[in-house]
Amino acid sequence: MSRKTALLLLPGLAFLAAGFLVPAVAMLVAPPGEETAAVVTRLAEMITDPYELRIIGRTVTIGLIVTGLCVGLGFPIAYLLARSTSRWGGVLLALAIFPLLLSNVVRTFGWLVLLGANGAIGKLLTSTGLADESPQMLYTPLAIVLGLTQLFLPLAVISCYSAVAQIDPGLDDAARGLGAGRTRTFWTVVVPLALPGIVVAATLVFAGSVTAYTTPYLLGGSGQRMLATQLFTYASVSVDWAAASATALIMTILVFLVSAVSSLAGRKGATT
């Protein structure tokens, strides 16, 4: 490496080390005022504690449901947009991407208005006589699932869109010409070819869902704790460093695990 190259790299690397790498590694090894073993001990306690296990279970379950919803709704959007020849295609694509620029707080906040005690959905249910009184929707897993789906759907749309856009529409025509119906063409040609994009989408959504804070905080409340809200409580309310670090470790492992699985799946998909 030439001296010039090193000079270009070093400042960035230094900041990266100070603002991310060193603190992240140090936290897992040595939380302040505690023995290194404390984190490991707490971790061992957590994965046998039913309360903690429920939180982990809830986080993973919600993550999986949101991933399914985002792919299930995002792929059709991406598919229709990629195959659209209409002028509106571009506008609709922009509309799907725009929320990515918008604050999560603002986006999640809408559900408070919709699902709250005086919210629009409750009103709709009572005024149409579908329910006698507005059911409890806020601070339920359903609210979190809806909030997270709204949050991560744009991400799923873009990932799937770039995958579908690369598929030659001629292949659809070829499959149709060989006698495959519209549905069969979709499942036997489009979906397999777009699979790498779908895997990327699923990974991003799952990793985002199990680490999101704003949504479970606003829509889940204290009754529906997820790993992120629990971590905040340990770090900020009970100031239990070992527990906070252990929770952080669980979250990190979860994300790494799903990234590893998906990159393995991606590699396998590439060779077949």
Q: Using CB under 8 A, which residues numbered 155 to 194 contact other proteins?
A: 157-159, 162, 182, 186
- Applying CB under 8 A, among 76, 135, 192, 269 the residue interacting with other proteins is 76
Identity of the residue, 159 or 224, whose beta carbon is nearer to other proteins in the bound complex: 159
- Applying CB under 8 A, among 56, 63, 79, 224 the residue interacting with other proteins is 79
Shortest separation between residue 53's beta carbon and other proteins, angstroms:
20
Shortest separation between residue 6's beta carbon and other proteins, angstroms:
8
Tell me which amino acid residue 134 is.
S
Tell me how many residues contact other proteins (CB under 8 A).
98
The DSSP line for the chain is --HHHHHHHHHHHHHHIIIIIHHHHHHHH--TTS-HHHHHHHHHHHTT-HHHHHHHHHHHHHHHHHHHHHHHHHHHHHHHHHT--STHHHHHHHHHHGGGGS-HHHHHHHHHHHHSTT-HHHHHHHHTTS-SS----TTSHHHHHHHHHHHHHHHHHHHHHHHHHTS-HHHHHHHHHTT--HHHHIIIIIHHHHHHHHHHHHHHHHHHHHH--HHIIIIITTTT--HHHHHHIIIIIS--HHHHHHHHHHHHHHHHHHHHHHHHHHHHHHH-
Sites for other proteins among residues 240-269 (CB under 8 A) = 241, 244-245, 248, 251-252, 255-256, 259
Shortest separation between residue 222's beta carbon and other proteins, angstroms:
11
- Applying CB under 8 A, among 42, 52, 144, 150 the residue interacting with other proteins is 150
Sites for other proteins among residues 223-242 (CB under 8 A) = 228, 231-232, 235-236, 241
Identity of the residue, 41 or 221, whose beta carbon is nearer to other proteins in the bound complex: 221
Identity of the residue, 26 or 47, whose beta carbon is nearer to other proteins in the bound complex: 26
Contact between 196 and 271 under an 8 Å Cβ cutoff? The reply is no
- Applying CB under 8 A, among 59, 67, 209, 211 the residue interacting with other proteins is 211
Identity of the residue, 16 or 53, whose beta carbon is nearer to other proteins in the bound complex: 16
Sites for other proteins among residues 96-135 (CB under 8 A) = 96-114, 116, 118-120, 123
41 touches other proteins by CB under 8 A: no
Part in contact with other proteins (CB under 8 A); list of ranges 42-50, 53-61, 83-91, 133-141: 83-91
Phi/psi for 222 (5° steps) reads -80, -15
